[in-house]
Amino acid sequence: MKKLLPLVISATLGSVSLNAFAESLVQIYDVAKQNDPQLLRTQAQRDAAFEAITSSRSSLLPQISLAASYTLTRGKINPDTGPDRDNDDNVANIGLNLTQELYDRSSWITLDTAEMTARQADATLAVTEQSLILRVAQGYFSVLSAQDNLEFIRAEKTAVGRQLEQTKQRFEVGLSAITDVHDAQAQYDSVLASEILAENTLANSYETLREITGRSYQNLDVLDTKRFSAVNSTTAPEQLINEAQVKNLSLLAQRIAVDIARENISLASSAHLPTLDLVGGYSISDTSDSTVNNGISNDGRANGFNIGVQLAVPLYQGGRIDSLTKQAEFNYVASAELLEETYRSVSATVRAQQNNINANIGAIRAYEQTVISARSALEANEAGFEVGTRTIVDVLDATQSLYDANRNLSNARYNYILSQLQLAQAVGTLSEQNLVDVDAGLIPAK
pLDDT value, residue 294: 53
pLDDT at 266: 94
Inside any domain, residue 14: no
Q: With respect to residue 8, please indicate whether it lies within any of the assigned structural domains.
A: no
Residues 228 and 251 in one domain: yes
Q: In this structure, is residue 19 part of a structural domain?
A: no
What is residue 76's predicted lDDT score, i.e. its pLDDT?
61
Provide the pLDDT for residue 89. Answer: 73
Q: Does 418 fall in a domain?
A: yes
Instruction: Point out which residues pair with 290 in neighbouring strands.
Output: 88, 297
- 422-435 in b/e form (b: 16+ CB < 10 A) is bbbbbbbbbeeebb
Residue type, 438: V
- Look over the chain and give the mean of its residue pLDDT values, rounded to a whole number: 89
Q: Kindly report the CATH number assigned to the domain that includes residue 86.
A: 2.20.200
Distance, CA of 301 to CA of 91 (rounded, Å): 10
Task: Quote the DSSP letter at residue 218.
Answer: S
3-state secondary structure of 365: helix
- The pTM (predicted TM-score) of the whole model is 0.83
What is the predicted pLDDT for the residue at 79? 55
pLDDT attached to residue 14: 42
Q: Are residues 296 and 396 in the same domain?
A: no
Q: Of the candidates 350, 166, 85, which has an alpha carbon nearest to the alpha carbon of residue 244?
A: 350
Structural element, H or E, at residue 349 = helix 320-387
Three-class secondary structure of residue 248 per DSSP: coil
Same domain, 86 and 29: no
Q: Could you read off the pLDDT of 376-400 as tens digits, one per residue? A: 999 999 999 888 888 899 999 999 9
Which region, left, alpha or beta, applies to residue 182 given φ > 0 means left and ψ of -120 to 50 means alpha?
Answer: alpha
CB 364 within 8 A of CB 419: no
In a domain, 10, yes or no: no
Whether residues 116 and 225 fall in one domain: yes
Are 80 and 93 within one domain? yes
Tell me whether residue 444 is in a domain.
no
Core vs surface per residue 378-411: b (16+ CB within 10 A) or e: beebbeebeeeebbbebbbbbbbbbbbbbbbbbb
Residue 225 lies in a domain: yes
Backbone angles phi, psi at 302, to 5 degrees: -130, 145
Number of structural domains (the chain) is: 2
Do 183 and 195 reside in the same domain of the chain? yes
180 plus 130 within the same structural domain: yes
The answer to whether the beta carbons of residues 95 and 103 sit under 8 Å apart is: no
> Are 209 and 72 part of one and the same domain?
no
pLDDT for residue 289: 64
What pLDDT was estimated at residue 10? 41
Are 265 and 298 in a shared domain?
no
> Both 213 and 287 in a single domain?
no
Are 221 and 200 found together in one domain? yes
For residues 442 and 222, is the Cβ–Cβ distance under 8 A? Answer: yes
Q: Give the CATH number, domain containing residue 143.
A: 1.20.1600.10
Domain that holds residue 296: 67-101+275-312
- 335 part of a folded domain: yes
Q: Quick one: which of 182, 204, 45 has its CA closest to 125?
A: 45
| Alpha-carbon distances of 246 from 99, 239, 243, 421, rounded to whole Å | 45, 11, 5, 18
Percent of residues, the chain, with pLDDT higher than 70: 89
CA–CA gap between residue 29 and residue 26 (Å, rounded): 5
Q: What is the mean pLDDT of each run of 10 residues along the chain (446 residues)?
A: 39 41 84 95 97 93 92 66 63 90 93 96 97 97 97 95 91 87 93 96 95 92 92 88 95 97 95 93 81 57 88 90 95 97 96 95 96 95 89 92 96 97 96 95 89
Instruction: State whether 386 and 363 are in the same domain.
Output: yes
